[in-house]
Amino acid sequence: MNDETRKRRLRAELLEVRSGLTAEDVRESGLRIAVHATGLWELARARTVAAYVSIGREPGTRALLETLRERGTRVLLPVLLPDNDLDWAPYEGPDRLVRAGRGLLEPAAPALGPEAVVEADAVLLPGLAVDRRGLRLGRGGGSYDRVLARLEAAGRTPPLVVLLYDGEVLEEVPAEAHDRPVRAAVTPSGVHRFTRPE
């Protein structure tokens, strides 16, 4: 079985578990994640954080977005482009989010261009799992692979942090050559740090 097939199967399993979560589970998890994430030195030092608005059964990000904004951090949120690449726009508060395609919530503020992400001092990533090496399993759309490639091309190495549920920190996830490790995962129970590969 090749890595792409293994990734598809693991994604299906993880999404099945998430489908059993209630709205209250998602909200409570998001509140706990916000507490742990705001204590990260990577976010405390960041003037600009690239983040995202959670949807569906993803761990909730609303509390974290508000905490960052209220303490004066500039937060950039993605705007999905037709080719699945991401543009970025500033987060101006929960009342300035608009419903976009695929059920996404995006900032009402004018977009700044896909290159705006290179201004981020830290990047919060969605995901479905992470392993002991810090390798993240995403949904497979490739949007964040492009973001990470854009950062690399610009010579930027901001800390990458993935937000997950506790059961999504695994021993190993299938990986490919282009996959980039994250520095940490934040779950409702705490922060999981990963050593950088040599």
Q: Is 97 annotated as a binding residue?
A: no
Q: Is 60 annotated as a binding residue?
A: no
Within-domain flag for 107: yes
Residue identified by tokens 């810090």 is: 134
Within-domain flag for 198: no
Within-domain flag for 76: yes
Q: Is 167 annotated as a binding residue?
A: no
Q: Is 74 annotated as a binding residue?
A: no
Q: Rounded distance, CA 172 to CA 96, Å?
A: 39
Q: Is 8 annotated as a binding residue?
A: yes
Within-domain flag for 88: yes
Looking at every residue in the chain, the average pLDDT score rounds to 93
Q: Is 139 annotated as a binding residue?
A: yes
Q: Is 53 annotated as a binding residue?
A: yes
Structural domain harbouring 150? 3-189
Within-domain flag for 170: yes
Residue 155: exposure state from Cβ atoms within 10 A (0-12, 13-18, ≥19): exposed
pTM of the complete model: 0.93
Q: Is 58 annotated as a binding residue?
A: yes
Number of domains in the chain: 1
Residues sharing a CB contact under 8 Å with residue 116, sequence separation 6 or more, in sequence order: 76, 87, 88
**In CATH, what number is assigned to the domain containing residue 52?**
3.40.50.10420
Q: Is 7 annotated as a binding residue?
A: yes
Q: Is 9 annotated as a binding residue?
A: yes
Per-residue model confidence as pLDDT tens digits over 42-99: 999 999 999 999 999 999 999 999 999 999 999 999 999 999 999 999 999 999 999 9
Q: Is 173 annotated as a binding residue?
A: no
Within-domain flag for 97: yes
Strands (E), the chain: 48-50, 74-80, 86-90, 97-99, 105-107, 122-125, 129-131, 136-137, 160-163, 169-170, 184-187, 190-193
Per-residue model confidence as pLDDT tens digits over 25-39: 999 999 999 999 999
Within-domain flag for 19: yes
